[in-house]
Amino acid sequence: MPNLYKRIEVIRRTPNRELIIYRCLEVLGQGGYVVQSADRLREPFSQKDRDVLERQFWELLSETPPEERSAPHATLEQAIAAFESEFA
């Protein structure tokens, strides 16, 4: 049976007024959280930029199950920390 996911966005504000949007998923049934991607936004914000990031989210999700790219973690905070250490 295919996995089910619950989408959760977590936003970090940085001192330089940048926003980091962590695109997280809760893996239902199996349990745990993974970070699908992290998007960075700076002013001026445009709808076109948001649309591109949204399309990339769905393309990535359709290509590979997120729990195959990154092991699920017990909490969102742990999933974000693991994503940051892997992609920083």
| Token duo for residue 25 | 């998923």
**Residue 13 structural domain:** 4-87
pLDDT tens track for 69-88: 889 999 999 999 999 998 86
Q: In three state form, how does the secondary structure of 20-64 look?
A: EEEEEEEEECCCCEEEEEEEEECCCCCHHHHHHHHHHHHHHHHHC
Contact of 81 with 61, CB cutoff 8 Å: no
> Is residue 52 over pLDDT 60?
yes
pLDDT tens track for 3-22: 899 999 999 999 998 999 99
pTM of the predicted protein model: 0.88
Q: How far apart are CA 39 and CA 23, in angstroms?
A: 8
If one counts the domains in the chain, the total is: 1
